[in-house]
Amino acid sequence: MRILPPILLMFLFTLHSNAAPPLQATTPADFYEFQFGDFLVTALLDGFKPRKPAAIATDPNEVKKHLERHRIDEAVMASYNVFLINTGSKLLLVDAGTGDMLGENGGYLVDSLRAAGHQPEQIDAVLITHFHPDHINGLVSDGELVFPNADVFCDERESEYWLDEDQEAKAPEAARERFNQIQSILAPVVESERLKPFPSSSDLFPGVSASTAPGHSPGHTAYLVESGGQTLLFWGDTVHIEQAQFANPELTVKFDWDQGAAAKRRLYFLILADRHGWVIASPHISFPGLGKVIEEETGYRWIPVPYGTDF
């Protein structure tokens, strides 16, 4: 080993001692995998975003009351979770994440998928819960399909609404931008004939079916995986504010397309999940967004999955 002159050694030491680790929290790509009957299911972290729940709620004061009980001042960190179902012969994604919408806070889906040992080319199908951009923007990057071999499934009521010129013309001015945004995201999927709308509540693959859940959007859909007598419900945007909407399922958010229907469907799923011990997979509940619910004296309580548990 060559001996370095003392002056250079001093310089190196100074450099080293100044290189303090950055005090900026970062959340890397992440995944959480568990066995569910004959299926392997993986929660994939796509991103996160600080959000003020009272600002998105139709009853801000009611939300504030629940936030206080959770010792939260105002803001929470909302997760953006995508789920992978390995059926043994097929790889199915539930939703496609945010793509470039969240800047450096999101777009981790492909990294999380690779970390879990899969490549985007291996995905056979993407099951879309609804067409809001935070669930479909990750289908396309720079005009190219991110999952080039995947068919993209959706309830036909969702595609018939958002991709229809008459519906767009009928929509209020403020909503038209949303139509344009969704149509331009999906254009490469439609052009490549990968979009596969299905009649509401279809059976899609052995053990995997769709359950219509209109309210948050016209063709909002949940997916059910059933195996070994157990049920796993991917319920899409049924709950946005975990601190408030379990305790009070009637609470709605401003971007529900039909607030009454959204509230009704939420209660319907909560009743079934509590009664039958269903596992729920949720895109915006803290990662990995997996848990069960129990009924309480008023409303319900979310029981997050204990770390490392197979259901």
**Cβ at position 220, least distance to Zn ion in Å:** 10
Dmax over Cα atoms in the chain, in whole Å?
Answer: 79
**Cβ at position 57, least distance to Zn ion in Å:** 15
Nearer to Zn ion by Cβ, of 87 and 266: the residue is 266
Q: Name the one residue in this structure whose structure tokens are 């600002």.
A: 55
Query: For Zn ion, how many residues bind (rule: CB under 5 A)?
Result: 2
Give the whole-angstrom CA distance, residue 65 versus residue 167: 38
**Cβ at position 293, least distance to Zn ion in Å:** 19
233 φ, ψ to 5°? Answer: -110, 115
* Residues 227-286 within binding reach of Zn ion (CB under 5 A): 237
Task: Report whether the peptide linkage leading into residue 288 is cis, meaning its omega lies within 30 degrees of zero.
Answer: yes
Told to check if 46 binds Zn ion by CB under 5 A, we report no
**Cβ at position 16, least distance to Zn ion in Å:** 45
Q: What is the CA radius of gyration of the chain?
A: 22
Residue 94: both structure tokens together? 């539930």
Residue 24: both structure tokens together? 């900026």
Nearer to Zn ion by Cβ, of 139 and 311: the residue is 139
Nearer to Zn ion by Cβ, of 158 and 237: the residue is 237
The residue type found at 2 is R
Contacts of residue 173, Cβ cutoff 8 Å, sequence gap at least 6: none
Q: Segment near Zn ion (CB under 5 A), from 69-77, 100-108, 131-139, 157-165? A: 131-139
Q: Segment near Zn ion (CB under 5 A), from 35-43, 127-135, 188-196, 247-255? A: 127-135
Give the whole-angstrom CA distance, residue 136 versus residue 247: 29
Of 134, 155, 158, 242, which one interacts with Zn ion (CB under 5 A)?
A: 134
Nearer to Zn ion by Cβ, of 51 and 65: the residue is 51
The residue type found at 17 is S
**Site residues (vs Zn ion, CB under 5 A):** 134, 237
